Amino acid sequence: PREVGAYCHAHIRGSTLVTLDATGHCPHLSAPEATAAAITDFADQL
């Protein structure tokens, strides 16, 4: 749930919260391009 993501983001220093327009519990299956882009964007910041 979005509330859980917001809570985790608020309590994990340096975290990044990205909300995808994917449905279900497997965004890598329902929105693979958006998931890969979010992961790449995060990795590029490291």
- Say what the pLDDT of residue 23 is: 73
- Say what the pLDDT of residue 33 is: 94
**Can you give the length of the chain in residues?**
46
- Residues 1-46: pLDDT tens digits? 889 999 999 999 999 999 998 778 899 999 999 999 999 999 999 8
Amino acid identity at 8: C
Read off φ and ψ for residue 9, nearest 5 degrees: -60, -40
Read off φ and ψ for residue 41, nearest 5 degrees: -60, -40
